[in-house]
């Protein structure tokens, strides 16, 4: 292991990155993904156009309808129409949902009997529909708590479960930390994949093949610039998250920083493995994007919390490092259990294993010969 060889390669890489303007991509892409997705994906639904058909016109039913009228999430309209007419409104895309309060609503409740509320939701966009449904459940729960006669229905706990550490119900809090996990998986992997495959495509890889430069020296020299440059992104992304998106940061910064560095190693390992097997830059980039972006997005917890996944995808999620890292991320931002939690220590260990295995495989498969 000769420091001089490594240094020469690192200086060369950095010079090339700057002169080919690739450095712009290193810093532009992560921030761009964060901004695009951070502003672009909205799980939150506001101003859902709601038609309320109140057949009871009682104290309890008014209490409930008032809640809808005063919420920013609903644009409630007390309907004077038949159910069929109301349904027609949804068909015409003039309304998002219909809430029907049956005639004997208050009477049944006062008698301690179960009462049902009818709810029709436009399911054209299932996620949006689910979100609206959970809002309605929330409102109903709140209203029923206020009414002294508490008639809890089963299954309402679900809402609480999701919102517990995001009391403000802010999308940013749920999205942005997850996005950091995605960005730090994709961007360093692409850079690492390019750095080696570019030499194969150009032919300069011969300088490595035909010289006494060792495999270890070559890999350290290739990965170090990518690692150092992307380490800065850990801080940049943190600043975007906390200042621009105003996501609270409750946990330990040290944990955030160290686990992120570890995670970058994993990303670099993926990129390195890909650049060992591919021959052209375009193939390397496409493959890296497929291998990192898709599972990264699916299992980041942005779309759906891992705990809410069904069996197959729940198991699948455990194969991808992003699940472990994002758990730590959400903890540091929103929960702040830190290393007091056994799960977090375990997950740190898993991340470490991933890094060791990926980098080890890359070193093993890299050969100083043409193929």
Partner 1 sequence: MKEQLYVKNVTVQYKGHIGIKNATFSLKGGEIIGLIGADGSGKSSLLHAIAGVERFTGEIIYDDVSYHNPKEAQPLKSKMGLMPQGIGLVLYDTLTVKEHLDFFADIRNIPIDDTFKSYRTKLLHMAGLEDFIDREAGKLSGGMMQKLSLVCTLLHRPKLLILDEPTTGVDPLSRIELWEILDEIRKMEGSIILVSTAYMQEAQKMDHILLFDEGEIIASGSVSALLDSAKAYTYKQTPCEDGCITFDGRTYTRKNINADHVSPTLEGLFLINALQKGKTLTSMQISARQNRVNIPEIVMEAKQMSKYFESFIANEHIDMKLHRGEIVGLLGANGAGKTTFIKMLLGLYPIDEGELYLLGKRIQSGADRRELKSKIGYVSQHFSLYKDMTVGENLIYFATLHALSKQKAAQRIKSYAKALGFSEYLDAFPRDLPLGINQRFSITAALLHEPVILFLDEPTSGVDTIARAQFWEILRQLKQQWGIAILITTHYMSEAEYCDRVVLLKEGKKVADASVAQLHATHPKAKNFEEIFLEYYR
Among candidate residues 327, 319, 278, the one with its CA nearest the CA of residue 300: 327
Structure tokens at 65: 């309808």
Structure tokens at 171: 């999308």
Judged by CB under 8 A, the residue of 203, 312, 340, 342 near partner 1 is 203
Question: Which helix (DSSP H) or strand (DSSP E) does residue 100 occupy?
Answer: strand 97-101
279 binds partner 1 (CB under 8 A): no
Site size for partner 1 (CB under 8 A): 27
Judged by CB under 8 A, the residue of 45, 185, 192, 213 near partner 1 is 213
Q: What is the distance between the alpha carbons of residues 53 and 60, in angstroms, rounded to a whole number?
A: 14
Structure-token match 């007419």, residue found: 85
Helix (H, G, I), strand (E, B) or coil at 124: coil
User: Least distance to partner 1 from the beta carbon of 187, Å?
Assistant: 22
Judged by CB under 8 A, the residue of 82, 85, 160, 207 near partner 1 is 207
User: Least distance to partner 1 from the beta carbon of 211, Å?
Assistant: 6
Q: What is the distance between the alpha carbons of residues 17 and 9, in angstroms, rounded to a whole number?
A: 12
Judged by CB under 8 A, the residue of 19, 92, 154, 311 near partner 1 is 19
Q: Which residues of 351-364 are buried (b: 16+ CB within 10 A; e: fewer)?
A: beebbeebbeebbe
Phi (first) and psi of residue 353, to 5 degrees: -60, -45
Helix (H, G, I), strand (E, B) or coil at 43: coil
- Judged by CB under 8 A, the chain residues 283 through 302 that form the site for partner 1 are none
Judged by CB under 8 A, the residue of 40, 112, 155, 212 near partner 1 is 212
User: Least distance to partner 1 from the beta carbon of 11, Å?
Assistant: 8
Judged by CB under 8 A, the residue of 1, 80, 210, 340 near partner 1 is 210
Judged by CB under 8 A, the residue of 125, 206, 253, 254 near partner 1 is 206
1 binds partner 1 (CB under 8 A): no
Strand partners, 31: none
User: Least distance to partner 1 from the beta carbon of 197, Å?
Assistant: 15
Residues lying near partner 1 in the complex (CB under 8 A): 2, 4-5, 7-9, 11-12, 15-16, 19-20, 202-204, 206-207, 209-213, 367-371
């Amino acid at each position: 292991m000769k420091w001089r060889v490594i240094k020469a390669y690192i200086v060369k890489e950095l010079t090339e990155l700057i002169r080919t303007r690739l450095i712009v991509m290193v810093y532009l892409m992560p921030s761009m993904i964060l901004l695009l997705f951070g502003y672009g994906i909205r799980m939150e639904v506001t101003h859902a156009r709601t038609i309320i058909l109140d057949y009871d016109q009682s104290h309890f039913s008014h209490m409930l309808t008032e809640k809808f009228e005063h919420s920013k999430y609903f644009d409630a309209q007390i309907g004077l129409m038949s159910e069929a007419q109301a349904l027609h409104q949804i068909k015409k895309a003039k309304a998002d949902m219909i809430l029907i309060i049956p005639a004997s609503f208050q009477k049944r409740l006062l008698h301690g009997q179960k009462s049902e509320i009818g709810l029709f939701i436009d399911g054209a966009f299932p996620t949006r529909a689910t979100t609206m449904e959970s809002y309605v459940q929330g409102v109903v729960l709140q209203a029923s708590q206020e009414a002294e006669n508490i008639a809890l229905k089963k299954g309402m706990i679900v809402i609480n479960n999701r919102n517990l550490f995001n009391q403000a119900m802010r999308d940013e809090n749920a999205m942005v930390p997850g996005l950091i996990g995605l960005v730090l998986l994709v961007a360093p992997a692409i850079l690492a994949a390019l750095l080696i495959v570019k030499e194969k495509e150009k032919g300069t890889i011969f300088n490595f093949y035909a010289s006494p430069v060792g495999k270890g020296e070559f890999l350290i020299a290739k990965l170090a610039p990518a690692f150092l440059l992307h380490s800065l992104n850990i801080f940049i992304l943190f600043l975007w998250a906390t200042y621009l998106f105003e996501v609270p940061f409750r946990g330990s910064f040290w944990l955030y920083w160290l686990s992120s560095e570890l995670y970058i190693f994993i990303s670099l390992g993926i990129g390195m493995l890909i650049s060992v097997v591919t021959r052209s830059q375009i193939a390397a980039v496409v493959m890296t994007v497929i291998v990192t972006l898709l599972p990264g997005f699916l299992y980041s917890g942005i779309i759906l919390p891992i705990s809410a996944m069904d069996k197959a995808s729940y198991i699948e999620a455990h194969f991808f490092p992003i699940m472990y890292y994002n758990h730590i991320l959400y903890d540091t931002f929103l929960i702040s259990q830190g290393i007091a939690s056994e799960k977090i220590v375990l997950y740190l260990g898993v991340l470490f294993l991933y890094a060791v295995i990926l980098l080890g495989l890359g070193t093993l498969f890299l050969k100083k010969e043409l193929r």
